[in-house]
Amino acid sequence: MNYISTRGGISPIPFKDAVMMGLATDGGLLLPEVLPRADSKTLDRWQSCSFPQLASEIFRLFITDISIDLLDELISRSYSTFSHPEITPLVQKGDLFILELFHGPTLAFKDVALQFLGNVFEHILQETRSTMNIIGATSGDTGSAAIYGVRGKERINIFILHPYKRVSPIQELQMTTVVDPNVFNLAIKGNFDDGQAIVKAIFNDLPFKNRYHLGAVNSINWARILAQVVYYIYAWLKIRNKTGAASIEFSVPTGNFGDIFAGYIARILLPEGAIRKLILATNENNLLTRFVTKGDYSVAKVVATSSPSMDIQVASNFERYLYYLYGCDAERTRQDFEQFSQTGKLVFDQDLLRTIQQDFSSKSVNEDETLNTIRRFYEEHDYLLDPHTAVGVNGAQSCRSGDIPVVCLATAHPAKFGTAVTKAIGREPELPPPLRGLQGRESRCEILDPDVRLVQNFIAHHALL
**CB distance 396 to 408 below 8 Å:** yes
Residue of 257, 264, 348, 377 that binds ligand PLP (CB under 6 A):
257
Shortest spacing between CB 260 and ligand PLP, in angstroms? 6
- On whether the CB atoms of residues 330 and 7 are closer than 8 A, the answer is yes
With residue 187 as reference, give the H or E element that holds it. strand 183-188
> Interface with ligand PLP by CB under 6 A: which range of 47-55, 118-126, 251-259, 455-463?
251-259
Longest dimension (CA), the chain: 60
- Please name the helix (run of DSSP H) or strand (run of DSSP E) that holds residue 275, with its range, or none: strand 275-282
Residue with Cβ nearer ligand PLP (266 or 448): 266
> Within a 10 A sphere around the Cβ of 50, how many other Cβ atoms?
13
Measured CA to CA, the distance from residue 365 to residue 296 in angstroms comes to 18
Binding-residue total with ligand PLP (CB under 6 A): 16
All residues at 6 or more sequence positions from 171 whose CB lies less than 8 Å from its CB, including other chains: 140, 141, 143, 144, 162, 416
Using CA atoms, how far apart are residues 409 and 416, in angstroms rounded to an integer?
16
Residue in 16, 41, 93, 110 annotated catalytic: 110
Q: How far is the CB of 89 from ligand PLP (least distance, A)?
A: 17
Q: Which stretch binds ligand PLP (CB under 6 A): 92-100, 113-121, 163-171, 257-265?
A: 257-265
Burial 157-167 (b: 16+ CB within 10 A, else e): bbbbbbbbebb
Q: Which of 388, 420, 421, 450 binds ligand PLP (CB under 6 A)?
A: 388
CA pair distance 400, 378, nearest whole angstrom? 21
Q: Print the binding letters for residues 51-70 with ligand PLP: x by CB under 6 A, - otherwise.
A: --------------------
Residue from 289, 411, 418, 463 touching ligand PLP (CB under 6 A): that is 411
Distance of alpha carbon 397 from alpha carbon 96, whole angstroms: 9
CB of 359 to ligand PLP, least distance (A): 15
309 binds ligand PLP, rule: CB under 6 A:
yes
Q: Choose, by CB under 6 A, the member of 96, 108, 173, 408 that binds ligand PLP.
A: 108
Q: Which of 253, 295 has the CB closer to ligand PLP? A: 253
Q: Quick check: 255 binds ligand PLP (CB under 6 A)?
A: yes
345, exposed or middle or buried, with CB in 10 Å at 0-12, 13-18, 19+?
exposed
User: Beta-carbon neighbour count of residue 49 at 10 Å?
Assistant: 17
Judge whether 110 counts as a catalytic residue. Answer: yes
Q: Site for ligand PLP (CB under 6 A): which residue of 16, 110, 155, 400? A: 110
Smallest distance from the beta carbon of 110 to ligand PLP, in angstroms? Answer: 5
Q: Site residues for ligand PLP, window 1-20 (CB under 6 A)?
A: none
Identity of the residue, 144 or 176, whose beta carbon is nearer to ligand PLP in the bound complex: 144
Q: Where are the beta strands (DSSP E) in 68-126?
A: 90-93, 96-100
Q: For ligand PLP, give the closer residue by CB, 194 or 259.
A: 259
H or E element, residue 222: helix 222-243
305 binds ligand PLP (CB under 6 A): no
DSSP summary character for residue 191: -
Question: Near ligand PLP by CB under 6 A, which window of 14-22, 80-88, 205-213, 248-256?
Answer: 248-256
Contact 443, 175 (CB under 8 A): no
Using the rule CB under 6 A, which residue among 310, 365, 390, 393 binds ligand PLP?
Answer: 310
Least Å distance, CB 58 to ligand PLP, is: 18
For residues 205 to 234, the per-residue mask of contacts with ligand PLP, x marking binding by CB under 6 A and - elsewhere, is --------------x---------------
Using the rule CB under 6 A, give the single segment among 113-121, 249-257, 349-357, 399-407 that binds ligand PLP: 249-257
**For 344-448, where are the E strands, in sequence order?**
345-347, 360-364, 406-410, 446-448
Task: State the residues that interact with ligand PLP by CB under 6 A.
Answer: 108, 110, 141, 219, 253-259, 309-310, 388, 411-412
Active site residues: 110
